[in-house]
Amino acid sequence: MTQLTIALSKGRILEESLPLLGRLGLEPAGDIDRLLRVPSKDRNVSLLIIRPADVPTYVEYGAADLGIVGKDVLMEHGGSALYEPMDLGIARCRLSVAAKKEGPRPDGVRRLRVATKYPEITRRHFAEKGEQVEIIKLYGSMELAPLVGLADLIVDLVATGGTLKANGLVEIETITQVTSRLVVNKAAMKMKNAAIQNLLAQFAEVVGGKP
Ligand code: PRT
Ligand code: MG
């Protein structure tokens, strides 16, 4: 039988993927808190547990045949090297621009500084609007940046809006809606077509999407 490897990330995506995997008989058969490679209940499918931002890379290079990853990460990575056959509708949120309640511009002279984990998406967004901004790359806790004067704006994920609110920030613009997507390595799609199509059909059945 054809062996398939699926790359997943710890955290929200794993949590929201587990019920789907369970319905497909692919739940992890091992300690997902410690193991980085875990067999699934289906002996032909194994799971890799990696950082969210690494999922497109593993799938692009064929270290995993498939992956589950947020649209935010895919957009930042530049997803053209991967097939993206299905929206799983999980880990739903939006990518937004936010500022301090009092407004983004303290002095009106220098360029706005935007702190984000998503420099590419941010660059494209402001370029499309014809706005010159300075982008500051951060790896987390973007909400802190405006509070301490590191940035005027942030580009970050928002789900309930609770985190922004707690930090005295307001959402001023939505860049895109975000859900998690199933991605597939292009060579694997050819070489392991039957096994992958079969898996896609099963996913489609449980998420009500199209294969
Ligand atoms: O581990 P690593 O630091 O590399 O990644 P990570 O911490 O970003 O992982 P994780 O598990 O938090 O997020 C992985 C993916 O989940 C993201 O790439 C998104 O596709 C998706 N997702 C969905 C979210 C959220 N919803 C979300 N709300 N990722 C992050 N958040 C953050 C948000 O930025 C805010 O700071 O959660 C916080 C709470 O949001 P509110 O609005 O509900 O308060
Ligand atoms: Mg994290």
11-66 confidence digits (pLDDT tens): 999 999 999 999 999 999 999 999 999 999 999 999 999 999 999 999 999 999 99
Determine if ligand 1 sits within 6 Å of the CB of residue 158: yes
| Same structural domain, 98 and 85 | no
Whole domain around residue 42: which residue ranges?
4-91+179-207
Output the CA 70–ligand 2 centroid distance in Å: 13
Average pLDDT over residues 115-130: 97
Instruction: Produce one character per residue of 7-28: b if its CB has 16 or more CB atoms within 10 Å, e if not.
Output: bbbeebbbebbeebbeebebbb
Identify whether residues 72 and 10 lie together within a single domain.
yes
Per the structure, the count of domains in the chain is 2
Q: Are 118 and 78 in the same domain?
A: no
Q: Are residues 56 and 28 in the same domain?
A: yes
DSSP letter for 167, please.
T
Q: pLDDT-derived band of residue 110, with 50, 70 and 90 as boundaries?
A: confident
Report the predicted TM-score, pTM, of the whole model to 2 decimal places. Answer: 0.94
User: Counting atoms of ligand 1 from 1, which one is nearest the CA of 143?
Assistant: 36
